[in-house]
Structure 1
């Protein structure tokens, strides 16, 4: 109860960037000028890692692991381009925040910042949202995992927490779980068993900054399966992360100076070709793409049908694929 008013309990499961965005919109809707202004509410935020950053954007990961997004495109707060009813909880972009808080040297819009930097910004944004929470609204932090969600006989929802607190009885739940782990399949179990029988080290798939790479001895031959984004992160941690550094030959081509602590990496994939490196054009931002197929008009027509009235596979995905194709071919023709 708040001032004699019953609280409306809701839960947000996951407090990475998506859960943070949901929290910001909830607080704005419950605040001055919002559609639920004056409503007493308890927002239960369930997240075992740093609130705002979550697991992927851990502020404690190595600085050499970079975002795929450019600094000039990253923000935790909506701006005027976001079409949402009611007020917005606005705030600084990553660039503005980093300059104000002197987090790094000059961060340029076209650079790929470190994920740890983004994590510190997101965690700060969480604290800023709490500071600006409207009167009568409580944000209750649960630093644990949600393990079950069930409907109760009275039509409510019950959230079971891993640490035994609760369960939480709420009227609504937002699932913002982001990237989730996969259970080990037969192929993974076979590889794990093979490694154990032959005295080898096997590191299962996962987030690079959580991998036990210190188990890999300097000079040991290490097989890496896959050449996508995780591969580049693992390569970074096993090279420059172990004291190696990059310089240039007199002709400008790159040169790697090993520290002697690196393993010998043998990498491959079904495709056999690594992804292209992150593009960077100092002094210039990539051209934006003007929507041609998935336009606001299309979106309005789909939203007008109400919940459950749109089939993603046959009506939404084709528009996305058409838009991506238009952007790709326009770029290919220009280059």
Structure 2
């Protein structure tokens, strides 16, 4: 009897020890995943859920689903103890520490690229009606006024990164030549998802010709001020949508969403793009990759300029709709952002 009691005690102790080890294991896994899915990722998931929810609900319910899209604040620095001046009085700032060496430039470009992709994915890749009719009326948006979300603000602590050569930064080239983390496709391939869409290099002989054969002029103004290399950048999502037919006329509405774009592989369903004498995009190639755009004299430094977009059908609960969406880097400057946006619906 004593022996049986002893055995039961040993079994109980083993069971308790097993449970404790299991709980410790779960705790370690929880901490591991918590470190993987940081606040920015959690916020983007909440944002994406609200985007999908709004697009799939009937019109009467859409107004009760606010976008839960929080603007990420990212300070890029060479030292964890340093801070970015732009965020000194801000809360929920993510500090991204990179090497204060020539290697740091690729780490910085990776931060920009990943924020662009994260924003684009959260907003439904431009294929979801983020600002449906009822919401547009509530926000006071007109037919030619895009709704916008500021996904990220990125600032640079230049004093701690004095060994990084920012003139080597080429965000377009980086996103065209580097693959997404854990994927085989490049950033540009992910954004385009269309064999007719292609990145266009700044400085190439590019002409955009509409259906009538008219060459479309483009705005080619850049900020080459050295100090602009360190100015705060915003990752901006913009969308303009309407019922089918609105975008059928050449440049009708599309010029608005890609306002001021220097180069684009798609301007309208009826436009053709040439590099030299080579056609790179056939008519009706709906996906656009913009590598320069909307940048006025006071705007973003040219080697940090990147834009991409999608034009075509968008998912909407009420009716079939078409639309154009764009994601772009812009100088975090209210007058400039308002050049593109009729309203901004994001949590600062």
State whether TM-score is above 0.5. Answer: no
Q: Which has the higher helix share?
A: 2
Q: Which has the higher strand share?
A: 2
Normalised-by-shorter TM-score class: under 0.3
* TM, length-normalised to structure 1: 0.22
